[in-house]
Structure 1
């Protein structure tokens, strides 16, 4: 990474003794808390979704303010996503975490349907092409890639945590803001902005291919967060100085 960023070797520990920013939080739901429409969307059953829509609204919310599109995207069910989008569902509605369906395609949180398991395991069960198709459908129909969730994460920040660069590439091709800031509420009495960029997020995880992609699209390597850390600092702090 030293060659990529073009800087000299940095300090090994977090500047000022502060802790590195943490990942966005997760939320959980159980199957019994989901209605028929949301269960069908989460399971990828287009026929059941079509039937449930006779009695339920296209953008009906569950207890976490998620629409059927949120659940279909979270599980990588591109057929359900396409069906909902073609029937003019709303693309940019936010759930209780402030996340749009586009953000849920590659969320790092937990989704519980029937039994407890991490969302990334659910994503691994789906074909990668389906996930990419979900993103493609949403972006092609006008989903906003620059909306931020309650923690300040955009879809590009979350894509920077994914094991491949294809999703980030799609977002960048649709002109996602590459240096949109990440901030985080520390508590109800004080605010400490992290102002992390997607490049910093990628550097924190040592994602070399994604770093190259972000740099190719003009990511600012000199940008500093509120602690004065650059992307290279994040790489060194997390053990990716090479």
Structure 2
């Protein structure tokens, strides 16, 4: 009877925990776990039941790196939900730090993606590889960019993360930050030596991406770094032409002035005069 009540309490706790996780602000995706999806060991790791995880590790063989139906290990699940004590325990039991889930993501990538900085720190200190790539060729640093978390990015760089790693679209973390309009991350990566002249697989420069995504402050920052405003992508388009075609008058004027030798010194307030930045027709179908 007592065992049944304990199991019921744990199940209720699991359901409440799931609800809390789903109610979090979800600017950075984690795992979506459904009731009944996880078996005993993985569920205990996900919920942070350290004692239960310890008991299962002690009484079952080869469980530490066992996989669920989505190819996730207990380490993936514990990192995604920020259960640092379970993460430490699993590492003590010699779990595979660099195991990949069905998306090719490591536990480090999940910890970064979910902004679980304590777990990130533990993994890096214990030797997790920050330069492995998932199925889309993103590294942990790409995920730090998407989360716009400079604190985690700093840790990754301290442990030799490649600041110029490219994903399947040839986006470095810097180009990704520009495309996603993550201004603070753009500044951070520039300060840490990112190549401001990088181009993606369509030969689009950071300046072109910043113009296309209507990011005036990033455009200004790039011009201050003396990027090439005359380069063209595979379609023969320059940053100036993107600005003109999309009706971004202030961006267009910034680039014209820059080509005339005037470096912008004050941030523009808006890139256009009534023209919606949603009218981005020139890159339809491109990532």
* TM-score of the two chains, using structure 1 as the length reference: 0.72
Of structures 1 and 2, the one with the larger relative CO (CA 8 A, separation 6+) is 1
The 10-residue stretch of structure 1 (82-91 or 227-236) with the greater mean CA deviation from structure 2? 227-236
Work out which of the residue numbers 94, 105, 115 in structure 2 matches 1:99: 105
Q: CA-to-partner distance for each residue in 1:47-92, whole Å, 9 max, x for gaps?
A: 1211222225111111111100000111111111111112211100
Corresponding residue number in structure 2 for 1:63: 69
Whole-angstrom CA distance in 2 between matches of 1:31 and 1:42: 12
1:27: how far off?
6.9
For residues 104-115 of structure 1, the aligned pairs below 5 Å read 104-107=110-113
Partner of 1:240: 215
C-alpha separation in 1, matches of 2:214 and 2:46 = 37
Native 8 Å contact 2:148 2:184 kept in 1:
no
Q: 1:166 aligns with which of 137, 143, 151?
A: 151
Identify unmatched segments of 5+ residues in structure 1: 1-23, 108-122, 184-193
Cα offset, 1:237, TM superposition: 2.1
Measure, in 1, the Cα distance between the counterparts of 2:56 and 2:119.
21
Counterparts of residues 197-208 of structure 1 (less than 5 Å): 197-208=172-183
Q: Hey, what does 1:76 align to over in structure 2? A: 82
- Runs (4 or more) in structure 1 with deviation over 6 Å come to 24-27
* Match among 34, 41, 51 for residue 45 of structure 2: 41
Partner of residue 155 from structure 1, selected from 114, 128, 140: 140
**Pairing 1:140–2:125 present:** yes
Cα offset for 1:240? 1.2
- Check conservation: 2:148, 2:185, Cα contact below 8 A: no
Aligned-pair RMSD on alpha carbons? 2.0
Q: Say which one has the larger Rg.
A: 2
- How many equivalent residue pairs? 188
Classify the secondary structure of the residue corresponding to 1:32. Answer: coil
Quote the offset at 1:145 in angstroms. Answer: 0.5
TM-score (norm 2): 0.61
Pick the structure with more strand per residue: 1
Aligned counterpart, 1:51: 55
Q: What CA distance in whole angstroms lies between the structure 2 residues aligned with 1:49 and 1:177?
A: 34
1:228 — aligned with what? 203
